[in-house]
A = this chain, B = another copy of it.
Amino acid sequence: MGVTEFVEWVGVDWGTSNLRAWGLAPDGAVVLSRSSDQGMGKLTRDEYPGVLQALLRGLGSNRGGSLDVLVCGMAGARQGWCEAPYLEAPTDLRGLIDGAVRPPLPDGHLTAAILPGVCQKSGGDNVMRGEETQLLGLAALRPGFAGVVCMPGTHSKWADMNGTRIEHFSTAMTGELFELLRTQSVLRHSLVGATGGAGRDEGFAAGAQIGLDRPEQLTSELFAVRASSLLSGREPDWCEGYLSGLLIGTEIGSRRARIGNQTVPLIGSPALCALYAQVLGMIGAQGEPVDGTEVVLAGLKAARNFIA
């Protein structure tokens, strides 16, 4: 109350459903972290400055003057705070900072820059916002890494990286399809009462194998959830595991040629990354979970260091 903490700068990951902020020391150490549920999905354009100021109350710049805030994620979307036009892949992510936009803030205490997302127009229309910063962070933490990176989630991203360059990426709607099918489709009748019990693992493995073997049959194999519960008395846990395995298996199966036997960094929730690692193991590849907070922080730091 009235005490000011001084930091070198602040990094912010402003997503659709929440935001996280880290206060950083000159050596890059995190000296404080704060978060809020005021994600892009809940805000009008005018509300962003107030949310940021409230979240960073009591923070000051240890260099005097205004405090620099570097933001990545959905705050830069057209429907966000201030649109940061996409960089177009293939591109070197060290260029992110050059595409940053600087929204006006009503008082002079904070200075904000919002990093752009990345789009792709040849090789399949696609967009990302936020993941590009994690990818830059991964490249910074692992100099010289080249290969496929997977970011499992509502809309899973797969990126072909070569150092700090993103060569190509794709998006699978796996997480969103799982939720829609689990809660809204005819399959929900077969999942009612699932408790995450033992049958789930067995169903997951069975579904994953089918997805890997026949990714082109997804819309048909989905109906097997319903038929199996009617015909074979499959329990809700088994059915929910099968649905999850089938969707993840399809996602990975359709990328088999690209994945080969690589060790694929997995950036996402630990529970989800463990499922992806299991399925990658089924095709002779490996999944290696990477801490998402660590890479987004490394990405914000790397982007800031490329300021000319």
Q: Footprint of B on A, CB under 8 Å?
A: 78, 86, 119-121, 124-127, 155, 170-174, 176-177, 180-181, 184-186, 215-224, 226-228, 230-232, 247, 250-251, 253-254
Contact = CB atoms under 8 A, between A and B. Distances in A.
Contacts of A228: 125
B219 A173 contact: yes
A223 B176 CA distance: 11
Nearest to A228: B125
Contacts of A184: 180, 184
A170 to B, nearest CB: 5
Nearest to A128: B227
Copies of this protein, total: 2
10 contacts: A119-B230, A119-B231, A124-B224, A125-B231, A215-B217, A216-B216, A216-B254, A219-B247, A219-B251, A220-B251
B253 A223 contact: no
A173 B223 CA distance: 7
Given A172-B219, A176-B185, 16 more contacts: A119-B231, A124-B224, A125-B228, A125-B231, A125-B232, A127-B226, A127-B230, A155-B223, A170-B220, A172-B220, A177-B219, A180-B181, A216-B216, A216-B254, A218-B250, A219-B254
Contacts of A224: 124-126
A237 to B, nearest CB: 17
Nearest to A218: B218
Contacts of A186: 155, 173, 176
A170 B220 CA distance: 7
In the A-B complex, list the 4 residue pairs whose CB atoms are closest, starting with the nearest.
Answer: A215-B216, A125-B227, A216-B216, A171-B223
Nearest to A186: B176
Contacts of A215: 216-217
Contacts of A180: 180-181, 184-185
Contacts of A251: 219-220
Contacts of A120: 227
A231 B124 contact: no
Contact of A218 (B119, B124, B155, B219): B219
A251 to B, nearest CB: 6
A222 B232 CA distance: 32
Nearest to A187: B173
Given A180-B180, A185-B176, A127 B231 contact: yes
Nearest to A225: B125
Contacts of A176: 185-186
- Output the residue of A215, A217, A220, A230 with the most chain B CB within 10 A: A220
